[in-house]
């Protein structure tokens, strides 16, 4: 065995090391075993082997045994590609998300992949990085790969594309983010009710001035959660002020920015409901910077119950959205669509659940 190491630096400043091993072993060129080989080896025809493989009738028990022995011996595994060509299905699903590094999506992805596996499907995964062009590209690629169905989490921009799929009865479901005009079947959560529940909880703790860090009306979920906030206020008979609402984005920094503004107001809010946990955690920083405490001086609530929420100090009160269940339900709905191939759209809305932790408190 010959070994050599090479160290070198590259323009990123990362130094990499090469360790190369040369193996001198029996030379063995991999040749794929086909159904023909099995047929020849077991002295039957390919169609008989096919019947054995697919557990169809009209096969002698003895023949079956012989064929299975050959399959095992030669380590044969049918080519999904050839099978897909004939049967026009691939047993592969497509899954397209805007950003896997957004903490909501890994759990969703796990739910999807796990459930798909249970049903015998593999999953081709795309991360579009919020790029509409890539979204479109992904759809085309997945179709040319002949996936049996797709699960997407698209922005408004490409809903038209999804509508086209529906026209063709190509199985597709939108997950996590709602399909704005319900052009395809959807799995989502009841954002209005969820935010309503959150704000109602804060009101029940005695808070009357509740700020809201929203992602703005640019995202549907943001708009819905804002609606829930408003609904809770309306029902309580109290009124909120416009300056208690701050529009941020999907990242934590905007929570910090918003909270800073809230704290600088003459009559600061006593509680804040953030549209997602990351903003809530960002808000923490602004509170600490002012030398204030949570929940002593101000109560903070998030939404989504991502992992971070139970790791920060104090642990964040939030709303669980059952992301893995959403992913699983997405696959199940997709499989239904694949079976039916109708143009009916279903919309399955999950209720969410309040998770009370340490970032909120009762005030007199």
Partner DNA sequence: CTATTTTATTCAAATTTATTAAGAATTTTT
Partner DNA sequence: AAAAATTCTTAATAAATTTGAATAAAATAG
In the window 22-61, what residues touch DNA (CB under 7 A)? 32, 34-36, 43-51, 53-54, 56, 58-60
Q: How far is the CB of 201 from a second copy (least distance, A)?
A: 17
- For residue 337, the Cα-to-chain-centroid distance in whole angstroms is 19
Assign residue 176 a region (left: φ > 0; alpha: ψ between -120 and 50; beta: otherwise): left
Please name which of 253, 176, 161 lies closest in space to residue 220, comparing C-alpha atoms.
176
Q: For residues 56-85, which are near DNA according to CB under 7 A?
A: 56, 58-60, 62-63, 78-79, 81-83, 85
Contacted entry of a second copy, DNA, none for residue 292, CB cut-off 5 to 8 Å set by kind: none
CA distances from 97 to 139, 150, 310 (A): 12, 11, 25
Closest separation in Å from C-beta 45 to DNA: 3
Give the nearest distance from C-beta 364 to a second copy in angstroms: 26
CB of 241 within 8 A of CB of 210?
A: no
Using the minimum distance from each CB to DNA, give the nearer residue, 78 or 163: 78
Q: How many residues bind a second copy (CB under 8 A)?
A: 86
Q: Which is nearer to DNA, 74 or 100 (CB)?
A: 74
* SS3 assignment, position 310: helix
Q: Which residues contact 231 (CB under 8 A, 6 or more apart)?
A: 192, 195, 196
Tokens read off for 165: 């799929």
Cα–Cα distance between 288 and 23 in angstroms, integer?
Answer: 58
Choose from DNA, a second copy, none: what does 249 bind? Cβ within 5-8 Å by kind: none
293 forms part of the interface with DNA (CB under 7 A) = no
Smaller CB separation from a second copy, 189 or 202: 189
Residues at the interface with DNA (CB under 7 A): 32, 34-36, 43-51, 53-54, 56, 58-60, 62-63, 78-79, 81-83, 85-88
């Amino acid at each position: 065995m010959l070994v050599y190491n090479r160290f070198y630096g590259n323009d990123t400043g990362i130094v990499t090391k090469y360790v190369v091993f040369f193996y001198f072993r029996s030379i063995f060129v991999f040749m794929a075993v086909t159904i023909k080989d099995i047929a020849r080896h077991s002295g039957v025809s390919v169609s008989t082997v096919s019947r054995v493989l697919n557990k169809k009738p009209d096969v002698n028990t003895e023949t079956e045994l012989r064929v299975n022995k050959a399959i095992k011996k030669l380590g044969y595994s049918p080519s999904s590609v050839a099978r897909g060509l004939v049967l026009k299905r691939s047993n592969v699903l497509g899954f397209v998300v805007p950003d896997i590094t957004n903490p909501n999506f890994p759990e969703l992805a796990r739910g999807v992949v796990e459930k798909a596996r249970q049903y015998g499907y593999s999953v081709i995964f795309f991360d579009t990085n919020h790029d509409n062009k890539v979204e479109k590209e992904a759809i085309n690629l997945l179709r040319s790969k002949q996936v049996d169905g797709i699960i997407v989490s698209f922005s408004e921009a490409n809903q038209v594309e999804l509508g086209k799929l529906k026209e063709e009865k190509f199985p597709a479901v939108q997950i996590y983010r709602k399909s704005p005009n319900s052009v395809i079947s959807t799995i989502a959560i009841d954002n209005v009710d969820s935010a309503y529940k959150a704000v109602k909880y804060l009101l029940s703790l005695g808070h009357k001035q509740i700020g809201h860090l929203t992602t703005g009306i640019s995202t549907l979920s943001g708009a819905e959660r804002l609606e829930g906030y408003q609904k809770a206020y309306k029902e309580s008979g109290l009124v909120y002020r416009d300056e208690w609402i701050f529009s941020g984005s999907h990242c934590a920094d905007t929570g910090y920015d918003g909270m800073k503004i809230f704290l600088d107001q003459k009559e600061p809010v006593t509680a804040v409901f953030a549209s997602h946990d990351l903003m809530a955690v960002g808000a923490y920083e602004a509170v600490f910077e002012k030398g204030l405490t949570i929940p002593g001086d101000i109560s903070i609530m998030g939404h989504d119950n991502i992992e971070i929420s139970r790791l920060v100090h104090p642990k964040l009160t939030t709303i669980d959205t059952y992301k893995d269940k959403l992913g699983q339900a997405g696959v199940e709905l997709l499989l239904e669509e694949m079976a039916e191939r109708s143009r009916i759209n279903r919309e399955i809305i999950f209720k969410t659940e309040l998770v009370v932790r340490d970032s909120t408190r009762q005030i007199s």
